[in-house]
């Protein structure tokens, strides 16, 4: 008889959070004009268009990609505004 193993919910949540954080960080950097090796701007393009990648990330935890995406866009706009104020000071 095969022994069935289940994933630790904490590990699953940490993995989901890390993937979502990477998506957000990549989108933010792209919005700021920062490109890293291998980054073609997919996250930013996805966030500002159809959000298919974000929907794939949100699916396993039944999160609303539009709600998450709208929050990310607002956070990115605020970060850009904040950096603009700091540069002007």
In a domain, 14, yes or no: no
In a domain, 12, yes or no: no
* Block residue for tokens 């794939």: 56
- Number of domains present in the structure of the chain: 1
In a domain, 74, yes or no: yes
How far is the C-alpha of 27 from the C-alpha of 33, rounded, in Å? 10
Per-residue confidence (pLDDT) for residue 2, from 0 to 100: 53
First to last CA, the chain: 68
Q: What is the domain extent for residue 47?
A: 24-33+40-88
Q: pLDDT 10s per residue in the chain (89 long)?
A: 456 677 777 888 898 899 999 999 999 999 998 887 777 889 999 999 999 999 999 998 899 999 999 999 999 999 999 887 776 65
In a domain, 65, yes or no: yes
Q: pTM for this one?
A: 0.81
From residue 12, give the alpha-carbon distance in Å to each of 1, 19, 23, 67, 89. Answer: 26, 11, 17, 21, 43
In a domain, 57, yes or no: yes
């Amino acid at each position: 008889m095969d022994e069935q193993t289940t994933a630790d919910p904490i590990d699953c949540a940490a993995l989901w959070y890390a993937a979502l954080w990477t998506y957000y960080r990549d989108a933010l950097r792209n919005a700021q004009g920062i490109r890293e090796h291998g980054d073609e701007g997919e996250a930013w393009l996805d966030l500002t268009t159809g959000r298919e990648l974000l929907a794939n990330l949100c699916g396993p935890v039944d999160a609303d990609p539009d709600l998450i995406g709208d929050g990310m866009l607002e956070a990115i706009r605020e970060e850009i505004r904040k950096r603009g104020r700091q540069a002007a000071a």
